[in-house]
Structure formats: structure tokens, C-alpha cells
Amino acid sequence: MAVDDFLFRSLGDDPATYLRFYRWEKPTVSIGRSQKIEEVVDMDFCRANGIDIVRRVTGGKLVLHHREVTYSICSSDTEIFSPKLVSSYRLISEALKQGLRKMGIDSGLAKETPSSYSRGRLPCFSHPARDEIERQGKKIIGSAQKRTGKKFLQHGSIPLEKDESLLRSVSLLSEGKESIQMTSLSEALGRDVDFVWAVKHLTSGIAEYFAVQLVPESFSDSEKAAIRMIQVERYENPSWTQAY
């Protein structure tokens, strides 16, 4: 996430867009920028089971990153993306739907956000929110966006497999009391789904939807050093993680 943070900071006045896909070395909890960690995370369980906790710069709710595809899009291009949060969020959802369609998965956009979800402390994958991607009433992609002027960064989680038991354990959900309306690529297709295979189709769908050609990028040594600095100052810093 320090890489996403760096790319967002690097956006200038000239239009530019970056798309990334990545995965996690081990189960990790991320919380939204303004969430109170003690209200949404079982920190004792995470410590005892070696699960890291990190605070995102984007908003949204708790996400368990585990056996998933994580995507990020950051851009300053208002010709491709709307300058408004809601409309740019919806555009990205439509592009991700195109990627799912290429995998053979039919999906739609949720029409509204349940009040119990928007006002409560439930994790991201407990319910689909408005304009998030769902399949048969269950969330299959969860996303959150940060915006400053015409620049934005959007993160998202696309489960390859789901682990409701672990999600309940890290997020203070009582067993059986609150529902989890989530699904995964593997569940939707009825077979195991590989990270590389999923990314190939998501990349193709996004490029097709926006009618763009994606060009691979790499970081210079100075850029890698800047990313490392952000990682140390934020994502490895307990005062950042435990803020609020």
C-alpha cells in the first residue's frame, strides 16, 4: 500500500493513471482511514495469530486481505474518469464487471447501502454498498476511494476464496449473529481460481472498458527509496495504524 500511496502523491497536473494488482504474503487486516481500531479489530486475536494490521489512506471499512486479488487505481485524468467521487467509483465498478464477465462471472451493482452497514462497524464484506459489485446479492468486490481535487486513489479487494470464520475472528463479529453477504471468484465459478489468471482477465476487461492500452512501468532506485520511506513513516508505524 506504500506503493499506492507513492503513486497517488506523484500525480501532478498532467493527466496520468496507474493500475496495480497485488497479493499479500500472509493474512492482513486493513482498516479505513478514519476507523477507530479498537472498535473494529480484535487486536488480541490478531497478535496471537500473527495477523498484521494496517491503516489505509482510503476510507471504507475493515477488510481481511487473504487469498485475494488486491487492485488499486489512481489517476488525475478527468477525461477518462469523472472529477466526482461517486461517478468515478461507478465507472471503475463497470470496468471491473467487464473483467468478471471475461472470467464467465455475471455480476451487477448494488442499488443502495443498508443503513445498518453504513452506520455500523461491520466489516466491508458483510454487505454490498451502493455501486459495489455483487453477485446474487453477495459482495464479490469491495472498494474504497480517497480523493483530493481531481486526483483520486481507489483500493479494492477481490476474494479468490472466502474465509468467513477468520473474518469473524479478526473483526469482532459474533458467530452467527451478524450475516456476511460475501462470495468469491472460486465460489462463483465452482472451481479454484489462480491469482495470475484472474489478473489477466481483470486487466483485459479494464483496458477494454476504458478503450486504453496499458503500458508496464517500473520504479527507479530513487522512487523505490521514496516508497520505502512512506512504508516506514506510515505502514510500519504503530502511531499511524492506531490513530483515532
Assessment of whether the complete model's pTM goes beyond 0.85: yes
Classify 155 as helix, strand or coil: strand
Domain ranges of the chain: 2-236
**Strand 133-135 and strand 108-109: pairing?**
antiparallel
How would residue 82 be classed by pLDDT, with cut points 50, 70 and 90? confident
CA distances from 194 to 94, 105, 137, 155 (A): 22, 15, 24, 20
In angstroms, the CA 207 to CA 30 distance is 28
pLDDT above 90 for 116: no
**Given pLDDT bands bounded at 50, 70 and 90, which one contains residue 175?**
low
Q: Taking 80 as the threshold, does the pLDDT of residue 2 lie above it?
A: yes
* Percent above pLDDT 70 for the chain: 96
- 199 pLDDT band, cuts 50/70/90, is very high
Please state the φ and ψ torsions of residue 103, each to the nearest 5 degrees.
-80, -15
Q: Which amino acid is at 140?
A: I
List 11, 54, 103, 124, catalytic entry:
124
Residue 175 and residue 180: Cα distance in Å, rounded?
Answer: 10
Report the candidate in 230, 227, 242, 244 with the shortest Cα–Cα distance to residue 53. 242
| 2-236: CATH architecture | 2-Layer Sandwich (3.30)
Please tell me the least confidently modeled range out of 53-62, 102-111, 116-125, 232-241.
116-125
- What pLDDT is stored for residue 234 in this prediction? 95
Q: Which cell numbers hold the place of 1? A: 500500500
pLDDT of amino acid 143: 93
124 as an active site residue: the answer is: yes
**In the predicted model, is pLDDT for residue 177 greater than 80?**
no
Contact 60, 32 (CB under 8 A): yes
